[in-house]
Amino acid sequence: MSDDCLFCKIIAGDVPSDAVAENEHAYAFRDLTPQAPTHVLVIPRRHEPDIGSLVEADAEAATGVLRLAKQVADEAGGSYRLVFNTGEAAHQSVFHCHAHVLAGRSLGWPPG
C-alpha cells in the first residue's frame, strides 16, 4: 500500500467507491466518469504502478485482476474491451495498476 495513492485508499476503505466485485487479489468498482454503459475499474490489492510491474512482482495477483475483469465483463453481457493505460503518454492518471472494463455498447476501432 502507498499512503498517497488514491486506489490504495479505496482498497483500504478510506475513500468511498461503488463496488462491483472483488476477489482475494483484486477489487472492482464503477468509474466516476464512465466512457461506456459499463465502465468498471479493476485494481490489484497490491500497489504496483502498472500491469508490467504487477506481472513481474506478483503473477498470481495479475491473474486475479484478469479473472475479476472477466467476471465483471461476463456479468455485463460478455462483449467487452479491457484496457490497461501504462505511462503518462498513454494517459495513465493514477499510477496504481488498473484495468478498465468497457462494455454495453459497440466499441469502435481503432480505439485512440
Task: Count CA atoms closer than 13 A to 31's CA, side-chain side.
Answer: 18
| DSSP-assigned states of every residue in 19-42 | EEEE-SSEEEEE-SS-SSSEEEEE
The cell numbers describing 88, all together, are: 503518462
Out of 25, 47, 96, 98, the active site residue is 98
Q: For residue 72, which of 112, 36, 111, 110 has the smallest C-alpha distance?
A: 36
Q: Is 98 labeled as catalytic in the residue annotation?
A: yes
Show Cβ contacts of residue 22 under 8 Å, excluding neighbours closer than 6 positions: 28, 68
Place of cell 468498482: 29
User: Catalytic residue numbers?
Assistant: 98
